[in-house]
Amino acid sequence: MVFVIGNLLSDGFNYDSFNDFSIQFGFYQLYAFVLGYSNMAFFDFMERRTWDKSDYIKRIILGIIGSTVITLVGLFFLRAGTSVFYYGTDFNVFKQKESWKAYSFGLWITLSIVSVFHVVYFYNRYQKNKIKEQKVIAGTASAKFDALKNQLDPHFLFNSLNVLTSLIEENPENAQKFTTSLSKVYRYVLEQKSKELVTVDEELNFARTYMSLLKMRFEDSIIFEIPDKASNPESKVVPLSLQLLLENAVKHNMVMSSKPLHIMIYEDGDHLVVMNNLQPKQIVKKSSGVGLENIKQRYQLLSNRKVQINQREKDFSVAIPMLTKQVSIMRTTQKSQARLNDDYVRARKRVEELKGFYYSLVSYCVVIPFLIFIWYKYSYYTIQWFWFPMIGWGIGLTFQAYKVFVDNGALGSKWEERKIEEYMRKQDDTARWN
């Protein structure tokens, strides 16, 4: 490309013979090789240094200055070498004849390529950083979500054991029934631990079972109202949300036969509401903040919809959103994260292969006609040598197209995936037998 541009700007491919053309072409390649690799080495050196995020401008300025100095020095030594060793010019004579014009084209081309390279490099780096940031955000949200769910196990067990302790003293027979029911309830807690959402019907059934446990302790001092099923069977809530709200209602209010606690669960539009009459205890233990705050934070990680809290003079209610659409949660396990990374790597590899093929195809369509033109203008009566690069390059291009577009072939990507999976299965089978 530099050779074509240089000739278009100067003599327009005005060569006396093919030998002159070949020599000039070789010099262009020598210049491009030396300047290209020296700038690449300088760029690698700059990249190995530690840069702060605020040093991008400094990094670019130093890169341009460094490329300018390297290019000018490289051009000087290349021109001096070719003048002295190839053309036999005295070095002092060479220095006297040197002018800025001899360096302007090389410097302009180099800085143009370096500038484009920097733009592409920093854009790709920006995209990679954005992907890393998203992965960090997703990983943080996943860890936070898991931590919130893991709070439920000790929290639920601790409060249940407190109830059991009270029952043992007050009613040993109910304490025995409570223990049996508690095992069933806790099984549900363990089953829902790995889930982000459960259906409203599942949660209502669990709440009904948990209410029966509370009834064993408080008997007629607590009154429940709960629907048989949800109006929309597809609606979902975060697991154990009703249990936490029922638990809070009992914890913060007086529960006596003379003043029974009324707890009502009902639907209000797209919310599930837990409401109780307000009769706060005179002395309440300091809240751990696990229950209601846990529900709010889990909903924040799942949806933009908020948990609504309403306290009036005579009642207190909490409305939790019923989610009916597929929720895209910022949560990935190690296995799914690894699969996501593998998918991204494969997709990026596929794009790079496509880009490489199209670049090769464009180069083929530009260079081959150019070679035919050179043959026609300078060596028309000699052997048609352009067929050799045309056929050789064409065969390579055909194999490249086969690899990119034929997925099920012997060298296609699907074949590669099948082979990898086959070898992995063999390794698993060997390990299992061992």
pLDDT in tens, 355-404: 888 888 888 888 888 777 777 777 666 677 778 788 888 888 888 887 77
Is pLDDT at 327 greater than 60 in this prediction? Answer: no
Q: Which residue has the higher pLDDT, 343 or 340?
A: 343
Give the tens place of pLDDT for each residue, 63-76: 888 888 888 898 88
CATH of domain 141-321: 3.30.565.10
Number of other CB atoms surrounding residue 351 within 10 Å: 10
Per-residue CA distances from 62 to 55, 58, 116, 123, 209 (Å)? 10, 6, 16, 18, 70
**Cα(19)–Cα(17) distance, integer angstroms:** 5
Average pLDDT score, the chain: 76
% of the chain residues with pLDDT over 70? 76
What is the pTM assigned to this prediction? 0.44
CB 66, CB 45: distance < 8 Å: no
% of the chain residues with pLDDT over 90? 8
DSSP 8-state code for residue 311:
E
Which of 44-48, 207-211, 249-253, 313-317 is the most confident on average? Answer: 313-317
Q: Which residues contact 67 (CB under 8 A, 6 or more apart)?
A: 39, 42, 110, 111, 114
**Cα(32)–Cα(312) distance, integer angstroms:** 80
Is pLDDT at 135 greater than 70 in this prediction? Answer: no
Is pLDDT at 318 greater than 50 in this prediction? Answer: yes
- Hey, what are 187's tokens? 């099984």
Domain range summary for the chain, segments of one domain joined by +? 1-98, 141-321, 333-434
What's the order of all strands across the beta sheet hosting 271-277? 222-225, 261-268, 271-277, 315-321, 308-311
